[in-house]
């Protein structure tokens, strides 16, 4: 018996502990555990789950179906953060202790090791939580066929965090003041200047704006609008927006209508309003890296106090400033923060709340959030005092009009103002 145990230990260590109980028994005793017969390995069940969730019509997935790009993202999380650690285990071998050990391993793991940063960086808390969420969905689909219960689901009355999941970082959306987003706009190259202008003033997601065509906008009349029916997905493909609620109509201002009208000229109804310099579909990463981030860096450089000039090489031309080479003077009009493109959306939402006094449900519908709860979770602090201001304005209106005037308005009298 001791000899068999030693052989089993060496076999497990030789496989870096990524070997199933059945495989050990088969190698050592040539007798698999009958209790595992018919139970799939996690890697096999995950592959089955992914294929079962592919929408029947990728271009128009149903309300209860996962969009193709979202499913591809789930698959990437599985292949990167789940299956390398747990894929060799049978579903019945994955319990709460196993999940806790896996989460602990992920929290200590380092990724993106480079020559400049050989230590790499820790996997973010959000990534760990997302990997846990995907695994919970995969394991939940095995109930009750292979499992009596989902080991990643919280039992009734249990603590919210039983497996040491890291806390999500606080929301860090950036609300740009008018002079800040205007400073970025001044430094945007012509290829993206109109795009940035529209993003700040509509709250569209980048993928939604890059999918717009003349057929999707109305730029004339009293009610100019954008109809969001599709979005740019991964690998340059177009598909439905992020959620059913994201299919919406967004009213636009006169200035935005004028910009879109100018871009519509000379285009067919189904050509893209915002095209890459080559006249093709934009790559989001290329747009950010080659156009937006350099524009932000230029807005962070003061003409009177520029950063130190790059060193002159022994031969060849002197390089341009890097993105991190910016002014540190703090002069007025020089951008001090480094926003993302998505912060244009947060900026627009904040303006709608603080200046436009829009209600939560109005902001939710404008942004295309799946629920008003999501809107409140992100922006609830901005509504502090807004309701009081609306009530004060209402009372001023009541006093200005008078009781009789308001009563006639309520009755719908024709002679009322």
How does strand 231-232 pair with strand 238-239? antiparallel
Q: What's the DSSP call for residue 288? A: I
Report the chain's terminal Cα–Cα distance, integer Å: 98
In three-state secondary structure terms, 180 is helix
Does residue 311 sit within a domain?
no
Q: What is the pLDDT of residue 351?
A: 92
Collapsing DSSP to helix, strand or coil, 199 comes out as: helix
Does some domain include residue 363? yes
Statement to judge: residues 275 and 301 lie in one domain: yes
Whether residues 180 and 125 share a domain: the answer is no
At 342, which CATH number?
A: 1.10.443.10
- Per the domain annotation, does 312 fall within a domain? no
At 86, is the pLDDT very low, low, confident or very high (cuts 50, 70, 90)? Answer: very high
Domain check: are 49 and 159 in the same one?
Answer: yes
CA separation for the pair 210, 212 (Å, rounded): 6
Calculate the average pLDDT of the chain.
Answer: 87
Strands 217-218 and 238-239, sheet pairing: unpaired
The residues, ordered by sequence, that sit 6+ positions from 358 with a Cβ below 8 Å of its Cβ are 352, 366
d(CA 245, CA 120): 39
pTM of the model as a whole: 0.76
Quote the pLDDT of residue 207: 96
| Domain finish residue from 169, 193, 222 | 169
Q: Please check whether residue 330 lies inside any domain of the structure.
A: yes
What's the rounded mean pLDDT across residues 179-201?
97
Q: What is the CATH number of the domain that holds 125?
A: 1.10.150.130
Residue 271 CA from chain centroid, whole number:
26
Judge if 81 and 103 occupy the same domain: yes
Please state, in angstroms and rounded to a whole number, the distance separating the CA atoms of residues 351 and 347. Answer: 6
Instruction: Judge whether 205 and 248 are in contact, CB under 8 Å.
Output: no
Helix pair 42-52, 125-140: axis angle to 10 deg = 80
- For residues 188-215, average pLDDT: 97
pLDDT tier for residue 4 given thresholds of 50, 70 and 90? low
* φ, ψ at 87 (rounded to 5°): -60, -25
Looking at the fold, whether 220 and 343 belong to one and the same domain comes out as yes
Listed range (280-284, 335-339, 349-353, 408-412) with the worst mean pLDDT: 408-412
Higher pLDDT, 167 or 62: 167
| pLDDT band, residue 6 (cuts 50/70/90) | confident
User: Is 10 in the same domain as 66?
Assistant: no
**Of 116, 150, 169, which residue sits at a domain end?**
169
Q: Do 253 and 150 belong to one domain?
A: no
Residues 316-328 pLDDT 10s: 899 999 999 999 9
pLDDT at position 243 is: 84
Whether 290 is covered by a domain: the verdict is yes
Q: Is the predicted pLDDT of residue 416 greater than 50, yes or no? A: no
Q: How many domains are there within the chain?
A: 4
Please say whether the beta carbons of 389 and 353 come within 8 A: no
Q: What is the pLDDT of residues 130-188, one digit of tens each?
A: 999 999 999 999 999 999 999 998 877 676 777 889 988 877 788 999 999 999 999 99
* Domain membership of residue 204 as a residue range: 172-306+321-384
- Domain end position, chosen among 124, 144, 169: 169
Give pairs for 397-402: CB < 8 Å, separation 24+.
none
Same domain, 294 and 217: yes
Distance CA(148)–CA(125), nearest Å, equals 29
Quick one: 396 exposed, middle or buried, by C-beta within 10 A (0-12, 13-18, 19+)?
exposed
32: pLDDT confidence band, cut at 50, 70 and 90?
Answer: low
Statement to judge: residues 46 and 162 lie in one domain = yes
- Is the preceding omega at residue 144 within 30 degrees of 0, hence cis? yes
Answer yes or no: are the C-beta atoms of 224 and 251 closer than 8 Å.
yes
Tell me, yes or no, whether 208 and 348 share the same domain. Answer: yes
Residue 313 lies in a domain: no
Q: Identify the pLDDT of residue 47.
A: 96
Contact in structure between 162 and 154 (CB atoms under 8 Å): yes
- Residue 185 in domain: yes
Q: Tell me, yes or no, whether 227 and 338 share the same domain.
A: yes
Percent with pLDDT over 70 in the chain: 85
- 347 or 387, greater pLDDT: 347
- From the centroid of its chain, how far is CA 203? 14
pLDDT > 60? residue 22? yes
Give the 3-state secondary structure percentages of the chain, helix then strand then coil, rounded to 5.
Answer: 50, 5, 45
Q: Which residues pair with 218 in a beta bridge?
A: 225
- Residue 81 counted as domain residue: yes
Residues 25 and 60 occupy one common structural domain:
no
Average pLDDT on 339-355 reads 93
């Amino acid at each position: 018996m001791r000899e068999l145990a030693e052989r089993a230990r060496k076999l497990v260590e030789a496989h870096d502990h990524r070997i199933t109980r059945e495989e050990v028994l088969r190698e050592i005793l040539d007798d698999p555990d009958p209790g595992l017969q018919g139970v799939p390995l996690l890697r096999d069940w995950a592959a089955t789950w992914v294929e079962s969730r592919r929408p029947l019509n990728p271009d128009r997935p149903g309300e209860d179906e996962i969009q193709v790009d979202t499913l591809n993202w789930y698959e990437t999380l599985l292949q990167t953060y789940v299956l390398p650690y747990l894929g060799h285990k049978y579903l019945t071998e994955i319990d709460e202790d196993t999940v806790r050990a896996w989460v602990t391993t992920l929290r200590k793991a380092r990724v993106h090791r480079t020559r400049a940063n050989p230590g790499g960086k820790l996997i973010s808390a959000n990534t760990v939580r997302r990997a846990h969420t995907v695994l919970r969905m995969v394991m939940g689909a095995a109930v009750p066929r292979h499992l009596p219960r989902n080991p990643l689901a919280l039992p009734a009355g249990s603590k919210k965090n039983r497996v040491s999941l890291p806390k999500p970082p606080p929301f860090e959306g950036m609300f740009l003041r008018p002079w800040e987003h205007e400073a970025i706009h001044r430094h945007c190259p012509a290829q993206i200047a109109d795009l940035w202008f529209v993003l700040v003033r509509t709250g569209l997601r980048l993928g939604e704006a890059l999918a717009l065509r003349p057929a999707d906008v109305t730029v004339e009349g009293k009610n100019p609008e954008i109809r969001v029916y599709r979005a740019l997905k991964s690998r340059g493909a177009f598909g439905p927006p992020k959620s059913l609620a994201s299919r919406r109509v967004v009213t636009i201002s006169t200035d935005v209508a004028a910009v879109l009208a100018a871009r519509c000229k000379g285009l067919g109804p189904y050509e893209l309003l915002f095209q890459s310099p080559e006249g093709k579909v934009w790559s989001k990463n290329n747009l950010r890296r080659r156009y937006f981030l350099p524009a932000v860096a230029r807005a962070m450089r003061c003409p009177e106090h520029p950063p130190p000039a790059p060193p002159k090489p022994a031969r060849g031309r002197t390089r341009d400033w890097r993105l991190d080479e910016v002014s540190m003077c703090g002069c007025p009009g020089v951008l001090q923060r480094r926003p993302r493109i998505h912060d244009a959306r947060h900026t627009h939402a904040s303006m709608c709340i603080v200046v436009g006094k829009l209600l939560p449900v109005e902001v939710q519908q404008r942004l295309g959030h799946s629920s008003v709860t999501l809107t409140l979770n992100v922006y609830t602090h901005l509504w502090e005092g807004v309701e009081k201001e609306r009530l004060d304005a209402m009372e001023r209106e009541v006093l200005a009009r008078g009781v009789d005037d308001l009563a006639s308005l309520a009755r719908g009298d024709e002679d009322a103002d």
